[in-house]
Structure 1
Amino acid sequence: MSEAFPRHVLCVLSSGLGLLEMEEIASGFGGFVLDREYSEDEPDPRMPEAFEASMSAASFDEADRTAVEFHDTVGYLLSAPMMQALAFDTSRRLLAATAALLRSGATAVKNESSGITHGRDRWLALADRAADATDEDLADALVAAWVKRPIYDGQVLYSCGMHLLGAPEVEIEVGAAPPAMDELPELVAHLDTLAIYLLTDPRAAEIEDGAGFRMAEDAPRWSLRTGACDRYDEDDLFFNPYGYVRLTPAD
């Protein structure tokens, strides 16, 4: 296993909320600091394209797009590099901080460490879910908030962001033909089921290649395959030191 420690890099846009206020709000949730090298009290014309590339279309409305276009401040908030045992709780606290920022004048947020963003209403709904959740429900909310999926590489659908929760990425083999749109919801449900299993079931720490996995007792059997992260360099924010776990069709 790599010795790299993942960290959150959160891009926060605002119109009227200054950098010092951003840092003060975020620091109240424990350990989040402003990156003073890259944060700016001025607009960045690259932001609309950057947010669009981060799957903003999934939950952005016209007000969200307008907020990105007409921001006047760009702040980058950092978590400390996270040991595996601390990642889940750090991500829970950062989601609460994200909601506090949005309710205090921030207008848009994306995570540079997984390449995901949500519209304002979606961020707030996820934070509200996580605030009252435990166990599998909390894991589900944090996966939805921080993990970008599905991403297709020509053979598998995979995630990016599970490293921020202290777990391997999740993948599922689909073959060379891109999945049809009506197939995606079920495939994403498979990824999410595996992700929640990795985050909540103690047996997940002992997965071996070839082990069986079912979404439910009466569901078809899949085989599990593990491997090291080979999509990103070790110094990339997307790099997952815990590797991946892939669902492959059982023989």
Structure 2
Amino acid sequence: MSEAFPRHVLCVLGSGLALSEMERIAAGFGGFVLDREYSEAAPDPRMPEAFEASVAAASFDEADWAAVESHDTVGYLLSAPMMRELAFDTSRRLLAVTAALLRSGVAAVKNESNGLAHGRDRWLALADRAADATDEGLAGALVAAWVKRPIYDGHVLYSCGMHLLGAPEVEIEVGEERPTEEGLLELVAHMDTLAIYLLTDPRAEEIEDGAGFRMGEDAPRWLLRTGTSARYDEDDLFFNPYGYVRLTHTE
């Protein structure tokens, strides 16, 4: 296993909110610092394009896009490099930080460590959901907040962001024909089921390559394939040192 430790790099756009205030709010949750080298009290004209590339359109509304366009400050909040056993709780706390920032005047937020942005309402809904949840409910909220999915490589649907929760990425083999919209929703539900299993079930730590997996008692049987991914270099923020777990069809 790689010795790389994942970390969150959160891009925070302010509108009338000083960098020092961003830092103060984040510090109140423990373990998060402002990157003084890259943060700047000035607008960055690249941000609309950067947010668009982070699938912001999935949950952005007109007000969100207007907020990005009118930002006057760009802050980068960092978590410490996360040991595996601390990643889940760190990500839970950072979601609460994100909500606190948005409620204090932050315009928009995206995560550089998974290439994912949500609109204001979506961030706040996920934070509220996580605050009231435990076990599988909490895992589901954090997957929705921090894991980009599905990404299609022409053969496999895969995720990016499970490393921020201390778990392997989840994948599902679909072949060369792109799934229909209805089929895609079902496949993403399978990916989420596997992701929550990896985060909440102690048996997930002992997955063997080729083991069987069912979504429910009467559901079809899948095979689990495990491995390391070569999609990203070790120094890439997207890199997952825990590899992947892939759902494949039984013979």
Query: In structure 2, what is the Cα distance between the partners aligned to 1:229 and 1:177?
Result: 22
Alpha-carbon separation, structure 1, partners of 2:69 and 2:226: 41
The CA deviation at 1:47 is 0.4
The question of 1:67 aligning with 2:52 is answered no
Question: Aligned residue for 1:164?
Answer: 164
Which string of whole-angstrom CA distances, capped at 9 and with x for unpartnered residues, describes residues 54-76 of structure 1?
11111100000000111000000
Q: 1:204: which partner in 2?
A: 204
Query: What letter corresponds to residue 182 of structure 1 in structure 2?
Result: E
1:54 aligns with 54
CA distance in 2, matches of 1:225, 1:235: 25
Distance 2:135 2:45 in 1: 41
Aligned to 1:34: 34
Secondary structure at the residue paired with 2:157? strand
State the SS of the aligned residue for 1:3. coil
Could you give the per-residue CA deviations for residues 109-166 of structure 1, whole angstroms, max 9, x where no partner exists? 0000011110000000000000010000000000000000000001100000000000
2:5 alignment counterpart: 5
Corresponding residue of 2:136 = 136
- The count of corresponding residues between Structure 1 and Structure 2 is 251
Indicate the residue corresponding to 1:147 in structure 2: 147
1:101 aligned counterpart, secondary structure? helix
Partner of 2:240: 240
1:126 — aligned with what?
Answer: 126
Give the 3-state SS of the residue equivalent to 2:42 in structure 1.
coil
- Residue 247 of structure 2 aligns to a residue in which SS? strand
Q: CA RMSD in A?
A: 0.5
Name the aligned partner's letter for residue 55 of structure 1: V
Q: CA deviation at 1:229?
A: 2.1
TM-score normalized by structure 1? 0.99
Deviation at 1:181, TM superposition (A): 1.4
SS state of the match for residue 97, structure 1? helix
Whole-angstrom CA distance in 2 between matches of 1:213 and 1:65: 41
Q: Which residue of 1 aligns with 2:228?
A: 228
In structure 1, list runs of 5 or more residues that go unmatched: none
Provide the rounded CA distance (Å) in 2 between the counterparts of 1:18 and 1:152: 39
- Partner of 2:117: helix, strand, or coil? strand
CA offsets per residue over residues 181-210 of structure 1, 9 Å max, x none? 121110100000000000000000000111
State the Cα distance separating 1:177 from its structure 2 match.
Answer: 1.4
State the match for 1:102 in structure 2. Answer: 102
One-letter code aligned to 2:67: A
| Alignment partners' CA distance in 1, 2:203 and 2:144 | 22
Q: Which residue of 2 aligns with 1:18?
A: 18
CA distance in 1: counterparts of 2:174 and 2:19, whole angstroms: 44
